[in-house]
Amino acid sequence: MTEAFVETEVDRTKSRWVANVLREFGRPRTTARALFYYALRREASDYPICGGFVGEIRVTRPYHVSDGSRLLKWLDRARQFGYVDGRAILDEVPGEHIYLPEEEVAGGRSPDGIPSHLPYHMPDHISGRIPDRTPDHIPDRRESKPRSPPHRPGASRRCRLELWLDRSALNPLLLPVCREMGITLVSVEKTPSRDAILALLARRAPQTVILCLCDLSIDSFEFEQRVAQAVGGPAGLERGELETGELGARELGTGELEASQLGARDPGGRGIQVRRLGLTPRQVGDLKLPLVPGRQGDKKEQDRYKKYVKPEGISPRMMAELDALEVHYPGGMAAFVRDELSPVVRECLSAK
């Protein structure tokens, strides 16, 4: 009985710390890993180390990378104790999720892009919005410029852009940007299913470009290849860059996309290009995103990952996560995606 009581008090102490840090972060909705990176960046030496007597705080210290393995536990406890709003932390939602541009939904298409007479309602886990401002804790050194009306490939019948992820928890953060720019948002579990590809073929345009967004990790760095293989092209690793057979997929470190590549033929004759929007090793280096230990994988996985990250001096034992952009990029992940997508959208609309 005493041990259970002590554990409860320790849980309450840790949970209150998590709730305070989340409140300090200032995001109405975020991911557990984004909160982890925010906690790492804090300079406060207030992370409680509890003793064995009713959870008293024995000592405090700065938050450390090794503390991340327990963060989900303390977040779960904080929810149970009512310290944290249950909707504040975005969780992974099983399955595949497709969100079309608003004009297509209004035009009577179902979420998978196939014409339908049924209305499309946004799932509950997507509701909520991200404030259109830069949080106080992230310095924004860019000049303030009036935002011009977004280019909307979704309104074009010849060119179509889609953003594909392998993490559904990020959908609520990125859907507003995709809707703003007229881009389809798709999240899958590691590898697209046959149904996801059939739906893609049903809604494709003469020029369709899939932009893949994933962590730089041994688990996700080949996401672009898995998508390309599912679409119909062989994939391979050459010269440290991801390439997709005749698709010619390459890194888009600055969002560049040549019009000639948009019109290139793909192996299956389907007119679908597959590209990586991020994270690339170069982006991680340029943005100075934090690297943390990742899963090691088997020898073949390690060799492929090492070959991909080595040119930028990144250890194959480390990974960089998209969640870190919420802390280390001005405006967060949504701003990063908007900045990377904007030149790609312009190229798409100007391609003949």
Mean pLDDT score, 3-20: 78
Residue 106 has a pLDDT of 64
* Spatial contact of 98 and 199, defined as CB atoms under 8 Å apart: yes
Residue 296 has a pLDDT of 87
Residue 80 has a pLDDT of 92
Write down the domain spans for the chain.
2-90, 97-132+147-350
- As a whole-number percent, the residues of the chain with pLDDT over 70 amount to 70
Instruction: Dump pLDDT digits (tens) for 302-311.
Output: 999 999 999 9
Average pLDDT over all residues of the chain: 78
| H-assigned helices in the chain | 2-25, 32-41, 71-81, 102-106, 171-181, 194-203, 223-231, 259-262, 281-287, 299-309, 325-328, 332-350
Task: Give me the CATH topology for the region 97-132+147-350.
Answer: Dna Topoisomerase Vi A Subunit; Chain: A, domain 2 (3.40.1360)
Neighbours of 46 (CB within 10 A): 14
Q: What is the pTM of this model?
A: 0.77
Token pair for residue 92? 């992974």
Instruction: Dump pLDDT digits (tens) for 53-86.
Output: 555 677 899 999 999 999 999 999 999 999 999 8
Mean pLDDT score, 135-160: 50
pLDDT band at 131 (very low <50, low <70, confident <90, very high): very low
Mean pLDDT score, 39-44: 95
Has residue 48 got a pLDDT over 50? yes
